[in-house]
Chains A and B, each alone.
Chain A
């Protein structure tokens, strides 16, 4: 160990092992996965995101939803509780993420797993109210209010049909309405698009599953 080069080459070689296994291998194999065709309607699995959902991923990233929510249903060899809890019909696999800009896998579940939240909660209005004030639809929620993604404005003529239907303490003052900003709408479009409920060769969905 007298010479720098000896030490450096040793370090380099040893370090290369994990780099090859966990960086190069994923980059070359997982990074080249392709969608599979959807036999029913000529589309593909995983389905593509619409423009709003694509933009919604940025909001998901910058608001730090990943601090509290994961997006992965685990393999049944490790635990069955993710599927049992109704967080997904089948375990998530690498191919499920290939439409995402960032894989929001997450490491903590202070809130539920969201990989199939679009299946579980298909109602955009619910999501908007939930984001505006989580406790309004979920008593005692510790999820923060994302009210800064909304505008409170004076009603001009007809109330907007986008206005949230809020009651009680959350309701704005008489003559005012709460409307979502583009960011809120994009985020909700993204949440609704979160669904790993289609079959893939490596992750079939059982026939009796409520997949649609």
Chain B
């Protein structure tokens, strides 16, 4: 623990000189500022991703509508209608933005940065400069992905999965960077690849920092089994990230080489014949990309949910005023999900041409991953059981996380079952699943986290009534939007279809899609309540004080917002964070409360 004492000494030294505005708010090395920087930029990208989604929804509901405003904005027109290429671009960019620029950087970047040092009682991250770099490495990525919208031929349109040979095909070296496979798989795709490379580097710097910080910088008494679930989840996520990311990086580099230098990592030996171009012979294998991509991207889906699970666990325990049920089992199931998460990537490839016998193994591992997910769900339920539930906006979002994750977890079993997946693969059933886990679970968990930590970040409370209104509308409309997708999938609607009136199974589904699109617009409009509440509370919200929720974890011991160095005195930890509600006259025992024989901790040893 001497290392943290050392840092506290440094903190006092820091306080003597005032930092300039630029160093304090822009090129800051303070984990809280970096967290908030991540928060603001990713929320901006959330608006962009949402706008793209609404355009996607418009096209699905009214495939033949004339949208003159689109053609005047984007110079893409087909008699006033949206072109197919434009639609492909919309959903590809929607998914890329939401996954790589919203959910991952929000959870790991914003919440990881903000909470880790505060919740383990450290003055900052282990490597503050690296931390700053990890944020600023996102900027080339932001710029490249935004520039790709204006790339020659159009923004990337090969899906967020960018499968070769649609994405990877290129003209021979020296003949320009157009793609023979699709007009917008040329320049745009190159920007996409480079942008993601920067995201990867940024995430890598973040995760190395998180791992080191959590291992080395815990305050005295903060043993591993006294860490809050948020920290456990972020810790395991960082490990996951550190192991999986290099593989994505390799994949991105290989595809970039194919595109830029005309290598043939993903071009099969006999070459390809496009309508206007015949490639020379290759020597590669298109399936290689899928293995590399999913080897990263399946763990990545857990990177996109485990931190939310951790946050939700802490929020539920706080507002149920009850100890988190099954703490150790919760940790083990996160670890189990992360471990199994490395051997299930093939479930995205059951119908891809991978040897079907191999699919059997991937199927069994995948179905078993539902077990730790189920255990976590039961533990959340048991935490609410016999609680004294306080319905704050944060709690409502956290409970909705549980309700929605049940749906997303259960639909996963259908797709994991290989024969059933034959039918539902690449249909809207998959779209339903991924939105239940990513929007209805992760994003609701993020909202819960924002309502919960807002007072710590800015010293003011968000308005609760507006928060509850935001919750109610979001909860209703997201189910109106996403639940019918299960039905669409069962009925046979393929995903990634700009015009659903072509196929026999699809054309009867237009009116259901129109209902969903109306829900989507209502969902979008409801978010203005949040935006208003966020900015209003930032300046005018009720001043919160240190511990508005009567929570136990360490961040609530620090002032709101905490100053540079976080804690006035180094916090000493005496117990786990879940001593809520059981203590007669005492409502809760903070982690820093000294041992008291008349109020024993709820943690079993």
Are both chains from one complex? no
